[in-house]
C-alpha cells in the first residue's frame, strides 16, 4: 500500500508481552566519575560497608551507586525535547550539569524489549540516556505501564513525571508500575535513565503496556507509515548468516525480489536484491583479522549489518551480527615446533600496537628499534588505572627484560619506569579505581605484576604507596605462592575457562622467566605444566571443547576466538591465530620455560576412545574472591578421532548462573552444539548470563562416556526467559537431519545428536536462522550423544539407531529422562534422584580422583602428579612444586638473580641451539638500569 503524501511517521505494534519494541533514543552520554572521594576513602582499609572494594564488584555496588545518585539525581524540571527522528535536541542529566546534545535515532529492541546502552567501561564513569515514543489509541483509556530498569529512571507522560525509580539492579531490570490515562489520539512518553559504571555495566530499560494493545508511533519526517509497514514485514522475513563467516562473506535470504540496502560496520550501504533461491551474498570486506588483534583482550570479531528496505520513505531497519573468522585455523598439525613458533611470532608481529607486537618483532628482528606506538596503549591503561591494566603491566615487564636499552626510543624507558612505580598493585593499596582484583585470573596477574615490578626496581620509591620496590616484591611473593599452591593441589574455580587459562599462562610463564626466587619459579613451572596438561587433555583438534567455568558467546560459536587457541597453535600445532596474542607470545619468547614433550603428545593423541575426568575442589577467600565457601567442579571429557563431548556434573544445579558453559558436543571449530536457559536476548558480554553464555538457572547435567543427559528446573517466569534453546549450526554440517525428537548432524566422520520432548523447531529468520532451535515441548530435558563412522556405521545408520528417550516428570513434578544408548546402556536421571546406568551408580566412590584419564591419574592429597604417554613422561612433586622429569626444566638461579644457563625457548626442538640471552638481563633486572 502506498500513500500520495508521506505521513511523516512509522507505526508499530507492541509484541506479545506488551513491550514497546520501537523507540527514538539518544546515545549513552558519559562523563568521568571524578567525585568518588566524596563517598569513599582512597586510603586505609578497603573493606567494610563503605569500603572501596565495592568499586570492582557489580552485584555489591548498589549502595554506593545510590549514594552517588543522590549527588547527581536526574533533573525532572526541564523542557522535554520534541520527538522526531534525526532531530537535534539537548538534555541535562542533573542540576548544575552542562546540557548534553544528540540527535534522535531509531532503535528496535530484542525480544526481551530492552533498550541496551550497556558497555564495558575500563574506568568509572557516569552514564545517562533518553528514549521516547508516542502511544496512540482511538478511545481514551487507562493503561498499566511497567518500566523495567537496572538503575534510576524517570518516566514522563505528556511532559509530566509519573513514575520514578532510584534503585539499582545488577543484571535483571527491576519492574515498577504506574496506571495512567491515555487520551484519545497520541500520548508522548519519555524515559530518562541513569547509571554509573564500574567496569561492567548493564544499562538497560524497557516499557510494557498492560491491557489491550496500543499503537507505537515514531515521528519521522518524510516517512510513510504504509511503506514502512510493508518494509518491516520484509525485514522480519529475512534470514542472515551463518554467524561464522570463514571467507569474508555472509548471505541474506528472504522473499524473492525483495530490494534491500545493507551497510556493514557503518560503511555506505550497498543494494541487495533477494534471489528466487538461495541467498544474496554480502561482502564483509574491510576487516583484516590478521592485523586487527588486541594484546591481551580478545575482540568479538563481529560485523554489524544494518539492513533497510530500498525505499527512501521507509526508515525502519534491522541489525544482524555475523563474525569474520580468523583465517588461520588447523585441526591437524603441519610442520614442527620451529615452524609453529615462527608462525605465531609473524602473526603477533602484525597485531595492533602493544606489548605482544613489540615482543614478537624483537624476536624476529633483534636489532630493530622498539616502536613507541607499542607502548602507548599499555602506558595509557596504567596511567588511567583502567581495568585489565594488570595484564599490560606484565607485558611491560617483558619488554623491559627482552628489549635492550639501546633499542628504546628516547624517554620511553623512563616512561615505563614511571608507570610501573606509580601504579596500584592490589586492592588494599591507595586509590579509587574499578580495576578488578577478585576474579581468579586477575588475582594472580596482580601478584605477578607487583612481584616482578618490585624486583625490577627494588630500591626505587613506588609513589602510590611510598614503598620501595623490594617491599612490593615482599608483599606479592607470598600471595603468589599461596595462589599457586592452592591451584596446584585443588584446581581452578573458573575451571577450564577458554578465556582465562591463557591469562593464567601469561602470569605463570612470566614468573618462570623473571622471578628471582628459585622455589617460586619452580612452583610456577610446575603449575604451568599442569595447566597445559589439562588443556591438552580437555581439547580436541585445536578446539578447547571442554565445559568451562567462564566463557563468552563468540568462543562458544567458534573456537577460533578462544584465547587458548594461539597457545595450542604454538605448542602443538593446532588451533587458531587470533587476537589473544600476549600469552602465546610470552611463551614463544620464553628463554627458560620449555613444555614437557608428553603434553603435546597427549594433545595430538586421538585414541578411539578417550574417557577423561577432572575434579577441582578448593575454597574461596573472602578478601580475594568476595566469597568464603567451597567450590568444586566435576568435568568429563569424551573424545574420539571424530567428535568430542564434555560436561560438568551437577554443577550448582538449580542456582542462578553467570558465564558457565555446562555441556557441549564438538564436531568442528564452528560446529559446537549446546543448549542454555537464556537470561537475555543479547549476546553481549555486559549481560552475564546472556542469551548463550551462561544460564539464567543452571541445569543438572550427568555424562556417561559418549552421552550426556540434562535437566532444567525452570522458574515460574515468563518473558524471553521462559524456555531453553539449542545452538545447532545445521548449515555448517556436512549433513543433518531431524528424526522424531532427535536433531542430528555430521561433520566428516563425526556425528552429534540432541533430543528433547517433541523435537525442535528452527529459527527461520534473523541472524540465528538455522542455528538456534527451540524445543516444541517444555525444553526441560535433553539427551545428547556423539558417534563416529568407525563404530556407528553411516550417518543414516547412526540416526536410525537413536531410540526415543523417555521424557517425564517425577513425583515432585520435576523433569526426568531415561534413554537406552546404542550399545544397550540404560541411562536414567531425575532432578532429585541418583544418576544411574543400567540401574547402578556409575561413580560409586565418594572420594573421586583429582585427575583421571588415559594419560594421568592423580588422587587428591597425592604428593606427585604423573602423566605418561608411550615413552614420554612428566612427574611433578606437589610438595615442593617442582618438576621432577624431564630433567631439562628451568636452571637454578644465582645470588645475583641471573640464571646459570638457559633452557631452549618454548616452541623450539630440543636439538636446536638455545636462544641467546636477552640484553638487559641480570643487571637490568636487579638494579633497574
- Helix (H) / strand (E) element for 929: namely none
Cα–chain center distance at 558: 12
Position 299 scores a pLDDT of 62
Burial class (CB in 10 A: 0-12, 13-18, 19+), 224: buried
pLDDT band at 922 (very low <50, low <70, confident <90, very high): very low
The whole-chain average pLDDT of the chain stands at 92
pLDDT at 892 over 80: no
The pLDDT score that the predictor gives to residue 846 is 86
Torsion of CA 106, 109, 115, 116, to 10 degrees: -100
What pLDDT digit, counting tens, does each position of 215-230 carry?
999 999 999 999 999 9
- Which helix (H) or strand (E) segment holds residue 821: the answer is none
Per-residue pLDDT at 660: 97
Answer for the pair 139, 183: CB distance below 8 angstroms, yes or no.
no
Tell me, what's the pLDDT at 301?
Answer: 78
What is the pLDDT, as a whole number, of residue 604? 95
pTM exceeds 0.85, yes or no: yes
Q: Which helix (H) or strand (E) holds 185?
A: strand 185-199
Cell of 905: 625457548
Closest CA to 364 of 557, 60, 589, 123: 589
The stretch 843-854 carries a mean pLDDT of 93
Question: Do residues 22 and 31 touch, judged by C-beta distance below 8 A?
Answer: no
CA 693/CA 708 separation, integer angstroms: 19
Q: What pLDDT digit, counting tens, does each position of 266-306 carry?
A: 999 999 999 998 899 999 964 444 444 444 445 667 999 99
Cβ atoms within 10 Å of 4's Cβ, excluding its own: 5
Q: Is residue 888 pLDDT above 90, yes or no?
A: no
* Residue 918 pLDDT greater than 60, yes or no: no
Q: What is the pLDDT of residues 428-440, one digit of tens each?
A: 999 999 999 999 9
pLDDT in tens, 747-781: 999 999 999 999 999 999 999 999 999 999 999 99
Beta strands in 46-159 (DSSP E): 88-91, 100-103, 105-108, 115-116, 121-137, 141-149, 153-157
For 684-741, strand residue ranges (E) read 700-704, 707-711, 725-727, 735-739
Task: Report the DSSP pairing between strands 153-157 and 185-199.
Answer: antiparallel
pLDDT band at 2 (very low <50, low <70, confident <90, very high): low
- Phi, psi (deg, nearest 5) at residue 88: -80, 150
Q: Strand pairing of 806-809 and 781-788?
A: unpaired
* Residue 776 φ then ψ, to 5°: -70, -35
The pLDDT tens digits for 716-746 are: 754 445 799 999 999 999 999 999 999 999 9
Q: How many separate helices (H) and strands (E) can be counted in the chain?
A: 19, 50
CA 441 from chain center: how many Å? 14
Specify the DSSP class assigned to residue 794.
S
CA distance 703 to 663: 9
3-state secondary structure of 192: strand
Residues in the chain: 929
Q: What is the mean pLDDT of residues 513-542?
A: 97
- Taking the CA atoms of 666, 670, 675 and 679 in sequence, report the sign of the dihedral they define: positive
Q: How far apart are CA 558 and CA 575, in angstroms?
A: 11
DSSP 766: B
Between CA 643 and CA 734 the distance in angstroms is 14
- How far apart (Å, rounded) are the C-alpha atoms in residues 894 and 918? 17
Give dist(CA 485, CA 482) in Å, integer. 5
CA distance 557 to 562: 10
Written in H, E and C, the secondary structure of 252-266 is: EECCCCCEEEEEECC
Q: For the residues 399-422, what does the mean pLDDT come to?
A: 98
Region 861-873: mean pLDDT is: 94
pLDDT in tens, 425-471: 999 999 999 999 999 999 999 999 999 999 999 999 999 999 999 99
**Residue 906 confidence (pLDDT) above 60:** no
Burial class from Cβ neighbours inside 10 Å (0-12, 13-18, 19+) for residue 374 reads buried
Contact 764, 751 (CB under 8 A): no
Confidence of residue 605 (pLDDT cuts 50, 70, 90): very high
Bridge partners for 697 per DSSP: 656
3-state SS string for 204-221: EEEEEECCCCCEEEEECC
> Between 888 and 601, where is the model more confident?
601
Contacts of 339 (CB under 8 A, 6+ apart): none
Per-residue cell: 655:
542456582
Residue 96, Cβ density class (10 Å: 0-12 exposed, 13-18 middle, ≥19 buried): exposed
Cell 583429582 identifies what position?
850
Pairing of strands 121-137, 707-711: unpaired
Of 183, 128, 124, whose CA–CA distance to 159 is shortest?
183
- What average pLDDT does range 495-499 have in this prediction? 96
Amino acid at each position: 500500500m502506498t500513500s500520495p503524501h508521506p505521513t511523516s511517521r512509522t507505526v508499530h505494534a507492541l509484541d506479545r508481552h506488551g513491550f514497546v519494541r520501537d523507540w527514538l533514543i539518544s546515545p549513552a552520554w558519559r562523563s568521568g566519575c571524578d567525585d568518588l572521594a566524596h563517598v569513599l576513602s582512597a586510603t586505609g582499609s578497603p573493606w567494610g560497608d563503605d569500603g572501596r572494594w565495592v568499586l570492582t564488584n557489580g552485584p555489591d555496588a548498589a549502595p554506593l551507586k545510590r549514594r552517588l545518585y543522590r549527588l547527581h539525581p536526574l533533573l525532572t524540571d526541564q523542557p522535554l525535547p520534541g520527538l522526531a527522528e534525526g532531530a537535534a535536541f539537548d538534555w541535562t542529566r542533573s542540576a548544575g550539569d552542562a546540557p548534553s546534545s544528540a540527535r534522535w535515532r531509531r532503535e528496535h529492541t530484542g525480544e526481551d524489549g530492552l533498550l541496551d546502552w550497556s558497555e564495558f567501561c575500563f574506568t568509572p564513569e557516569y552514564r545517562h540516556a533518553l528514549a521516547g515514543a508516542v502511544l496512540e489509541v482511538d478511545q481514551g483509556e487507562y493503561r498499566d505501564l511497567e518500566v523495567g530498569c537496572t538503575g534510576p529512571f524517570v518516566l514522563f507522560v505528556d511532559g509530566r513525571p509519573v513514575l520514578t525509580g532510584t534503585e539499582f539492579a545488577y543484571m535483571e531490570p527491576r519492574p515498577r508500575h504506574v496506571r495512567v490515562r491515555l487520551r484519545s489520539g497520541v500520548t508522548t512518553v519519555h524515559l530518562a535513565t541513569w547509571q554509573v559504571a564500574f567496569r561492567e555495566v548493564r544499562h538497560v530499560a524497557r516499557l510494557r503496556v498492560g491491557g489491550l494493545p496500543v499503537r507505537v508511533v515514531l515521528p519521522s519526517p518524510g516517512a510513510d507509515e504504509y511503506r514502512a509497514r510493508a518494509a518491516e514485514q520484509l525485514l522480519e522475513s529475512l534470514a542472515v548468516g551463518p554467524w561464522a563467516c570463514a571467507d569474508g562473506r555472509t548471505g541474506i535470504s528472504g522473499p524473492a525480489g525483495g530490494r534491500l540496502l545493507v551497510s556493514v560496520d557503518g560503511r555506505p550501504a550497498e543494494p541487495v536484491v533477494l534471489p528466487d533461491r538461495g541467498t544474496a551474498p554480502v561482502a564483509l570486506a574491510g576487516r583484516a583479522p590478521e592485523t586487527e588483534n588486541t594484546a591481551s583482550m580478545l575482540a568479538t570479531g563481529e560485523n554489524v549489518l544494518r539492513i533497510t528496505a530500498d525505499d527512501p520513505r521507509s526508515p525502519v531497519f534491522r541489525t544482524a551480527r555475523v563474525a569474520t573468522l580468523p583465517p588461520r585455523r588447523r585441526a591437524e598439525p603441519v610442520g614442527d615446533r620451529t615452524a609453529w613458533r615462527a608462525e605465531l611470532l609473524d602473526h603477533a608481529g602484525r597485531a595492533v600496537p602493544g606489548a605482544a607486537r613489540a615482543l614478537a618483532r624483537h624476536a624476529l628482528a633483534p636489532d630493530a628499534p622498539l616502536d613507541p606506538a607499542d607502548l602507548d596503549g599499555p602506558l595509557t591503561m596504567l596511567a588511567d588505572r583502567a581495568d585489565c591494566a594488570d595484564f599490560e603491566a606484565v607485558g611491560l615487564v617483558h619488554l623491559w627484560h627482552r628489549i635492550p636499552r639501546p633499542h628504546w626510543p628516547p624517554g620511553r624507558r623512563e616512561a615505563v619506569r614511571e608507570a610501573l612505580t606509580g601504579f596500584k598493585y592490589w586492592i588494599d593499596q591507595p586509590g579509587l579505581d574499578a580495576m578488578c582484583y577478585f576474579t581468579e585470573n586477575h588475582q594472580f596477574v596482580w601478584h605477578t605484576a607487583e612481584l616482578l615490578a618490585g624486583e625490577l626496581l627494588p630500591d626505587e620509591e613506588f609513589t602510590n604507596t611510598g614503598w620501595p620496590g623490594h617491599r612490593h616484591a615482599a608483599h606479592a611473593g607470598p600471595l603468589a605462592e599461596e595462589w599457586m599452591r592452592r591451584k596446584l593441589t585443588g584446581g581452578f574455580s573458573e575451571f577450564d575457562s577458554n578465556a582465562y587459562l591463557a591469562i593464567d599462562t601469561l602470569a605463570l610463564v612470566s614468573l618462570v622467566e623473571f622471578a628471582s626466587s628459585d622455589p617460586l619459579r619452580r612452583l610456577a613451572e610446575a603449575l604451568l605444566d599442569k595447566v597445559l596438561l589439562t588443556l591438552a587433555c580437555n581439547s580436541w583438534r585445536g578446539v578447547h571443547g571442554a565445559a568451562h567455568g567462564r566463557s563468552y558467546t563468540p568462543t562458544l560459536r567458534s573456537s577460533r576466538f578462544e584465547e587458548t587457541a594461539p597457545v595450542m597453535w604454538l605448542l602443538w600445532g593446532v588451533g587458531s591465530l587470533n587476537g589473544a596474542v600476549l600469552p602465546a607470545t610470552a611463551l614463544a619468547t620464553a628463554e627458560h620455560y620449555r613444555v614437557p614433550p608428553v603434553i603435546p603428545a597427549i594433545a595430538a593423541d586421538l585414541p578411539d576412545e578417550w574417557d577423561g575426568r577432572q575434579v577441582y575442589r578448593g575454597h574461596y577467600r573472602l578478601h580475594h574472591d568476595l566469597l568464603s565457601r567451597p567450590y568444586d567442579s566435576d568435568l568429563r571429557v569424551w573424545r574420539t578421532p571424530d567428535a568430542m563431548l564434555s560436561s560438568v556434573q551437577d554443577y550448582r544445579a538449580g542456582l542462578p548462573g553467570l558465564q558457565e558453559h555446562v555441556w557441549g558436543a564438538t564436531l568442528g571449530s564452528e560446529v559446537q552444539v549446546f543448549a542454555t536457559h537464556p537470561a537475555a536476548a543479547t549476546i553481549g558480554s555486559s549481560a552475564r548470563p546472556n542469551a548463550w553464555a551462561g544460564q539464567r538457572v543452571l541445569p543438572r547435567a550427568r555424562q556417561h562416556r559418549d552421552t550426556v543427559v540434562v535437566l532444567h528446573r525452570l522458574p515460574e517466569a515468563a518473558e524471553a526467559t521462559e524456555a531453553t534453546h539449542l545452538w545447532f549450526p545445521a548449515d555448517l554440517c556436512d549433513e543433518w537431519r531431524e528424526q522424531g525428537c532427535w536433531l542430528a548432524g555430521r561433520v566428516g566422520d563425526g556425528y552429534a545428536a540432541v533430543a528433547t520432548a517433541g523435537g525442535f523447531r528452527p529459527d527461520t529468520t534473523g541472524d540465528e536462522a538455522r542455528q538456534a532451535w527451540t524445543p516444541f515441548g517444555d525444553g526441560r530435558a535433553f539427551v545428547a550423544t556423539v558417534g563416529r563412522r568407525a563404530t556407528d556405521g553411516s550417518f543414516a545408520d547412526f540416526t536410525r539407531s537413536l531410540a526415543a528417550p523417555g521424557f517425564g516428570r517425577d513425583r515432585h513434578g520435576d523433569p526426568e529422562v531415561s534413554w537406552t544408548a546404542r550399545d544397550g546402556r540404560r541411562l536414567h536421571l531425575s532432578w532429585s534422584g541418583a544418576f544411574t546406568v543400567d540401574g547402578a551408580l556409575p561413580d560409586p566412590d565418594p572420594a573421586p580422583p583429582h585427575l583421571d584419564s588415559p594419560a594421568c591419574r592423580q588422587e587428591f592429597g597425592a604428593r606427585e602428579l604423573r602423566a605418561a604417554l608411550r615413552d614420554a613422561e612428566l612427574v611433578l612433586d606437589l610438595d615442593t612444586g617442582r618438576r621432577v622429569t624431564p630433567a631439562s626444566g628451568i636452571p637454578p638461579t644465582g645470588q645475583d638473580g641471573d640464571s646459570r644457563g638457559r633452557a631452549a625457548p618454548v616452541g623450539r626442538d630440543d636439538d636446536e641451539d638455545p636462544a641467546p640471552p636477552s640484553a638487559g638481563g641480570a643487571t637490568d633486572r636487579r638494579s633497574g638500569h
